[in-house]
Amino acid sequence: MTNQNEKRQLRKIVKELFYRADKNGDGVLSRQELQDYAEVDVSLKNLIERSIKKVRNVDKLIEQDLEEQFHTFIPISANLVTYKEGIHY
């Protein structure tokens, strides 16, 4: 129940921020409008900065996760096909 109330409250806040930042009232928030409003509204600027940090952290985790796959040790005892054996067809 609280989760739904929190979502509704967050939507309301985001909607208000959007309309305040949309200076020309066209219903589209341009990069310039967002930057201009972030300079005036410190809470929006902080929200954007925190979001960017979170995205960068996720990027780092994904990068580390992918890199581990390339450094996986395959023991010599594994039953691998050698180049000489190859696959004949």
Q: Does some domain include residue 30?
A: yes
Q: Specify the pLDDT at position 25.
A: 92
Q: Does some domain include residue 89?
A: no
Q: Specify the pLDDT at position 64.
A: 81
Q: Does some domain include residue 83?
A: no
The domain total for the chain is: 1
The model's pLDDT over 49-85, given as tens digits with 9 standing for 90+, comes to 888 898 899 888 888 877 766 656 555 555 555 555 4
The model's pLDDT over 20-33, given as tens digits with 9 standing for 90+, comes to 899 999 999 898 99
Q: Does some domain include residue 63?
A: yes
Q: Does some domain include residue 52?
A: yes
The C-alpha atoms of residue 28 and residue 49 are separated, in whole angstroms, by: 21
Domain that holds residue 64: 2-70
Largest distance between two CA atoms of the chain: 70
The C-alpha atoms of residue 74 and residue 72 are separated, in whole angstroms, by: 6
The average confidence (pLDDT) of the chain is 78
* Number of CB atoms found within 10 A of residue 35's CB: 12
**0.75 exceeded by the pTM?**
no
One-letter amino acid identity for 22? D
Q: Does some domain include residue 65?
A: yes
The C-alpha atoms of residue 76 and residue 79 are separated, in whole angstroms, by: 8
Q: Does some domain include residue 85?
A: no
Q: Does some domain include residue 84?
A: no
